[in-house]
Amino acid sequence: MMQREEIRSLGGFVWSVADILRGDFKQSEYGKVILPFVVLRRLDCILEASKPQVLDAAKTLPDGVDEATRDMILFGAVGGNVKVYNLSRFTFATLKGQDPGQLHQNLVDYITKFSGNVRDIFLDKFLFTDQLKRLKDGGILWNVFQRMTEIDLHPDRVTNIEMGYLFEELIRRFSEISNETAGEHFTPREVIRLIVDLLIANDDTKLTKRGIIRQVYDPACGTGGMLALTEEALKEFNPSIRVELFGQEINGESFGICKSDMLVTGHDPEQIAFGNTLTQDAHKDKRFHYMLSNPPYGVDWKKYQEPIKEESDTLGFSGRFGAGTPRISDGQLLFLQHMISKMRDDEEGSRIGIVMNGSPLFTGGAGSGESEIRRWMLENDWVEAIVALPTDLFYNTGIQTYVWLLTNRKPASRQGKVQLIDASGERFWKPIRKSLGSKRREIPDEARADIVRIYEGFLNGGSGEGDVAKIFDITDFGYREIRVEHPLRLNFQASADRVARFRDDRTFIRLSEDEREEIEVVLLSLGDKRFTNRDAFEKALAKALKAEAVKIGGPVKKAILAALSERDEGADICIDKDGYPEPDTDLRDHELVPLKEDWRDYVAREVTPFVPGAWVDESYRDARDREIGRVGYEINFNRYFYRYVPPRSLEEIDAELKALEAEIAGLLREVVA
């Protein structure tokens, strides 16, 4: 087994091809040449030994044989589980002995004579023949090819898992120099291993049986790292298990790498689909035992919102997005809903592990799309645990991330409960020797085992884990948002500044000049008297209008009342036409009442003693249960795992300031000298 440093060294050697490309290709284009060349070299190393048998088998094929039969015979000639062959007479070794001037033509022959499943990858996804032509036109094709022939990627030298590490290293380098997001292509392996271990932690008895099949799915599979490591873990647990891998990927290059890996490891390559999972579900009627994913964080779905919203509105819970849609700027919860729709409805059920940032935990208030999705998941009792990971784990971002674990077959002990594990502390990570992009830390094996132990044992704060793990009832995350109204209290006065305010009102401006003069006369007749009761003012206004024989419509009266009034805590409460206090919309407030508490008790304790005249708007109700107040759900890790850090002493701060002053003074003396 190659060590990680050896993988990096191999990746560095492969990436040295970039030195040849410099000047003829932009930095952002290096990966378009190097990645498919690595895939091609890997396939060449795998197929070289069986080349004579394949060519001999091809000669014996009867005329008019159908494609499926031909593939079956030639796959058999290759041997093993490999589902790819090549009918070109060339290999990398024989191409080296050919005329360099014929290399382009020979490589095109080599690529186009792969079996159709691989040929399409190179032609349609990698667009590799275009890159070969550019290499030829630049006069550097032979140099690149020679460098690639020096790399031994035979499975005896580099295993499939190690190839995954190699692709990870190459994509990271490619993303760094082109300012692209490496995290959209792959997930650090120690994070994948943690998710996999958590997924199978409590499945011991299920996985030890003979002759069992497990189907694994990743809706944003990238280069297939999550799928490959899940299979590896399941095989280690039970060598006789049959693992079927399914995935979908929108990035053409990542898809090509993933599908190529499926081909050489004996999996059905047709189970890896190309396209947008959210709009074109390639596995529409499939259900899976295990699902895991690292969907893109904070990536908007505006450009394909129409089919998603249409599915949500027309199909409801018969489709994938019945619980609602999150804000347009972040589609993480769409991927999670999609995965939930693929849970098996049988005795075994399904388990889901997904990495997301903090947004899906708490973004959106009661009634919002995010809150309703959380509500749907929690009230259906699918959320089993959420693990907060250390920061600085990923190559493209240092932000806090979380692993969500869901299942539709919770054991009795976990029903109605959610376990939160704070694995963000120093106990669970160590620094890496050299930063890789934003990645400065990793989760060591012993820390991963510790996290799994806490989860597997369903440990709580009182189980010797202190503030690392806590168990909550589902309702602990829920609340009712009630609307609290404050009475409207206004005074009224026809003072010069308030009358001037009325003159600027559009309703007044639209009146004729005569009408404006008549109304001004009426208002001035009221004098400077301040009214603290709206009814009293309206009566005085009506009397003044009658005295001057002036008639006004409702809009004008409304504009007068608005312009001549000001809020006054000492004024009387304004009463509406039905005899009820009128609310002051500017003072309207919302209180979040825990679901476990009656809102009446909450108001009596938290509102009424401080605002005696306030009341709850009982027309403000939840759209689903029709009860007073809108239901919301949020999971705030900081609230549950808050650790008080005392401020530094004044003496310590003072000493640091003096040290800095001395350092600055020394620097200034050097400058002057």
Query: Chain-wide mean pLDDT for the chain?
Result: 91
Mean of pLDDT values over 216-237 = 92
Over residues 215-222, the mean pLDDT reads: 95
List of residues 6+ apart from 252 with CB closer than 8 A:
124, 125, 126, 274
Q: What tens digit of pLDDT does each residue of 85-101 get?
A: 999 999 999 998 889 99
Tell me whether strands 478-485 and 589-594 are parallel, antiparallel or unpaired. antiparallel
Q: Is the pLDDT of residue 146 over 70?
A: yes
Contact 84, 118 (CB under 8 A): yes
Q: What is the CATH number of domain 182-458?
A: 3.40.50.150
Confidence at 171, pLDDT banded by 50, 70, 90: confident
Give the model confidence (pLDDT) of 573-612 as tens digits.
Answer: 999 988 999 999 999 999 999 999 999 999 999 999 998 8
* Mode of pairing for the β-strands spanning 290-293 and 469-473: unpaired
Question: For residue range 9-36, what is the model confidence (pLDDT) as tens digits?
Answer: 888 888 888 889 988 998 888 888 998 9
Q: Residue 182: its pLDDT value, please?
A: 41
Residue 534 has pLDDT above 60, yes or no: yes
When pLDDT is cut at 50, 70 and 90, the band that residue 465 belongs to is: low
Q: What is the pLDDT of residue 9?
A: 81
Q: Which amino acid is residue 112, in one-letter code?
A: T
Grade residue 195 by pLDDT with cuts at 50, 70 and 90.
very high
> Considering the chain, what percentage of its residues have pLDDT values greater than 90?
70
pLDDT band with cut points at 50, 70 and 90 for residue 253: confident
- Residue 638's CB is within 10 A of a number of other CB atoms, namely 13
Amino acid at 177: I
- What average pLDDT does range 203-207 have in this prediction? 78
Choose the most confident range, by mean pLDDT, from 181-195, 544-558, 634-648.
Answer: 544-558
pTM for the model? 0.85
Q: Is the confidence at residue 645, as pLDDT, over 80?
A: no
b/e string for 277-294 if b means 16 or more Cβ within 10 A? bbeebbbeeebbbbbbbb
Q: What ranges in 121-224 are assigned the alpha helix state H? A: 128-137, 141-149, 160-178, 189-200, 204-207
Model pLDDT, residue 420? 96
Query: 530: closest CA among 502, 495, 558, 556?
Result: 495
**Is residue 178 pLDDT above 70, yes or no?**
no
**Half-sphere exposure for 640 (CA within 13 Å, toward CB):** 23
In this predicted structure, the answer to whether residue 185 has a pLDDT above a threshold of 50 is: no
623 burial type by CB count under 10 A (0-12 exposed, 13-18 middle, 19+ buried): exposed
